[in-house]
Amino acid sequence: MVSLREQAKAHRRAELLAAAARLFAADGFHATTLGAVAAEAGVSAPAVYRHFESKADLLAQMLVGVSESLLEGGRAACESASPLRSLCTAHARFAVNESAVIRVQERDLASLDAGPRHRVRSLQAEYVQLWVAALGPSVPDADEAELRLRVHAAFGLLNSTPHALRRSGAVSDPVGLFTNLAMAALTAPRR
């Protein structure tokens, strides 16, 4: 059983990660100080060090953590009756709800130290492979290279979701819309 103290610590850590994601997305990793992250999260600057060794550690835990979460969710989606649609829905939900993290990933992945960067890339490769395996039955005449190309095209579409939503305004069901668009892109005929 998790104690109240452990729950509070986990909650504070999540708040710090969310605050860092917002600030890194807005201003960039290098321009953001740990003091700014602390202020955004409503804690003192020394409190950050109870959870993270440094700003680099915070970035590493953010990007490794999100990559682990996506892979775990992808594995669960692959157990469903419609793995490809479930993968699209899960990733669309992530893109809509975690737009700041996507921006940080796009811009600041290269700022990670070699070890965490390798871990993120390894997790991403496993995630892509889940998608390739789920897509294969829907495009039986496609080889591995084409399946990977289709998957990366779908990621481009899904990961641009936050940018598209900001420009286009309200959409009643953005997750459903982007799921359907990704499914169409993944299974489009070659012509």
What type of residue sits at position 157?
L
Residue 185 CA to residue 34 CA, distance in Å, equals 40
Residue 136 CA to residue 148 CA, distance in Å, equals 10
Domain 1-52 has CATH 2.160.10.10: no
Residue 58 CA to residue 166 CA, distance in Å, equals 27
- Please write the tens of the pLDDT for every residue from 142-172: 999 999 999 999 999 999 876 677 666 677 8
75-79-85 Cα angle (round to 5): 85
Between the alpha carbon of residue 155 and those of residues 3, 6, 159, the distances in Å are 39, 35, 6
Write out the two tokens for 3: 């104690």
> What pLDDT is recorded for position 162?
66
Give me the percent of the chain exceeding a pLDDT of 70. 97
Do 47 and 74 contact (CB within 8 A), yes or no? no
Residue 84 CA to residue 79 CA, distance in Å, equals 10
What type of residue sits at position 124?
Q
Helix (H, G, I), strand (E, B) or coil at 1: coil
- Please write the tens of the pLDDT for every residue from 37-58: 999 999 999 999 999 999 999 9
Q: Locate CATH 1.10.357.10 in the chain.
A: 56-187
Do 175 and 151 contact (CB within 8 A), yes or no? no
Q: How much is the average pLDDT of 120-126?
A: 98
Do 84 and 186 contact (CB within 8 A), yes or no? yes
Give CATH for domain 56-187.
Answer: 1.10.357.10
Q: Going by C-beta distance under 8 Å and a sequence separation of 6 or more, which residues neighbour residue 156?
A: none
Do 120 and 63 contact (CB within 8 A), yes or no? yes
pTM of the model: 0.91
Q: Locate CATH 1.10.10.60 in the chain.
A: 1-52
